[in-house]
Amino acid sequence: MAGRVVRNIVRADADVIEGLAVCGVATVHEAQGRIGLMGSRLRPIYAGARIAGSAVTISAPPGDNWMVHVAIEQLQPGDILVLAPTSPCEDGYFGDLLATSAMARGCRGLIIDAGVRDVRDLTQMGFPVWSKAVFAQGTVKATLGSVNVPIVCAGAMVEPGDVIVADDDGVCAVKRADAASVLQKAQAREANEESKRKRLAAGELGLDIYDMRGRLAEIGLKYE
């Protein structure tokens, strides 16, 4: 049932979160076994932002942004707001006033499976948003939702305190309890990729580096 606000949520270590931001979405997604990725409909309102933070989740009725105000009070520095409407909606739940308030509390950005507005102002303020739509449509404050409950956002399960990583490739959620080990795997993956990148840049082929020719021939690839 709607109408719940959970105040005490557990967050991951700040260092782990910072590390995940540096790795970026594609690497983190791979490192944790290709889970947690939000749908491609979530796009950044401007290019170049690259953030990670702890999820403060919002379950909101369609066209009603009342719970965003409630959620902002729950923010701690380093948090990211993550909003899923209870049914598909593209209204503009969030604009420059709410961003001003969220930034004042140290919020790093917003992930919303709905719409956002005032994107020119948000861009100038440097408050990044990943959204399904840019839409000026206003919302009301009439019906309860919940804050810091588990939600499904753009197809990904998110629990409050999970780590959210977002960059130009999209948005990925990492379970809080897995964050440290995912970071380790992500960093190992990056180290490994660096040597591959050099060899590929020098003209070596992935077919050879990854030793694919035998298996391809075995399952039937034919050159003509």
- Give the footprint of a copy of itself on residues 84-113 (CB under 8 A): 86-92, 95-98, 100-101, 103-105
**Which of 1, 191, 211, 214 is close enough to bind a copy of itself by CB under 8 A?**
1
Query: By C-alpha distance, which of 19, 29, 54, 17 is closest to 169?
Result: 29
Query: By C-alpha distance, which of 63, 56, 60, 51 is closest to 25?
Result: 51
DSSP structural state of residue 38: P
Min CB(121)–a copy of itself separation in Å: 9
Using rule CB under 8 A, residue 5 touches a copy of itself: yes
Min CB(17)–a copy of itself separation in Å: 18
* Site of tokens 């009070």: 73
* Site of tokens 């598909």: 88
First to last CA, the chain: 63
Min CB(181)–a copy of itself separation in Å: 12
**Rounded to the nearest 10 degrees, what angle do helices 96-104 and 66-73 cross at?**
10
Near a copy of itself in 34-93, by CB under 8 A: 34-35, 37, 39-40, 43, 46-48, 50, 61-64, 66, 69-70, 72-73, 86-92
Using rule CB under 8 A, residue 223 touches a copy of itself: yes
